[in-house]
Amino acid sequence: MNGKPTILFDGVCNFCNSAVNFIIQRDKKALIKFAALQSGAGQKLLKQFNLPTTVFNSFIFIEEGMIYSQSAAALRLCRYLTALWPLLYGFIIVPKFIRDSIYRWIAKNRYKWFGKREQCMVPTPELRNRFLQ
């Protein structure tokens, strides 16, 4: 859609929204774009990649036309962040079934632990260009 690495996230999840803010602060080159899974842009991308449009239990990372989900998405994303975060990509050597079981446990409990919003976050005017419309 835009050629830049893109994160599709659960727009009503407090944990996911905090993660987006965390990423924005550490993506100093402003390379990563964002779209809520529930948004028009998010739904369009889900359809483009033949993904379910009503399941929001994982964030999706799109990089160079490829889609990644769960732990692979999180680890690939780390390569774009500042400081020591790119070192976490080394955990890609941990077997996927182990990484993804931890990811699914967190995803399953995120609403209970962090809460949920009534609607998707609205980016500030300064950040609006980072979010797909």
CA pair distance 59, 123, nearest whole angstrom:
18
17 contacts 121 by C-beta, under 8 angstroms: yes
Cross-strand bridge partners of residue 68: 61
Q: Are strands 66-69 and 60-63 parallel, antiparallel or unpaired?
A: antiparallel
Q: Read off the pLDDT of residues 56-65 as tens digits, 9 standing for 90 and up.
A: 877 899 999 9
Report pTM: 0.88
Mean predicted lDDT score pLDDT of the chain: 90
Structure tokens at 11: 């727009």
Picking from 40, 33, 36, 35, the residue whose alpha carbon sits closest to that of residue 12 is 36
Q: Which residues pair with 62 in a beta bridge?
A: 6, 67
| 7-37 pLDDT per residue, tens | 999 888 888 888 999 999 999 999 999 999 9
pLDDT of residue 56: 82
**Would residue 64 be called left, alpha or beta, if left means φ above 0 and alpha means ψ between -120 and 50 degrees?**
left
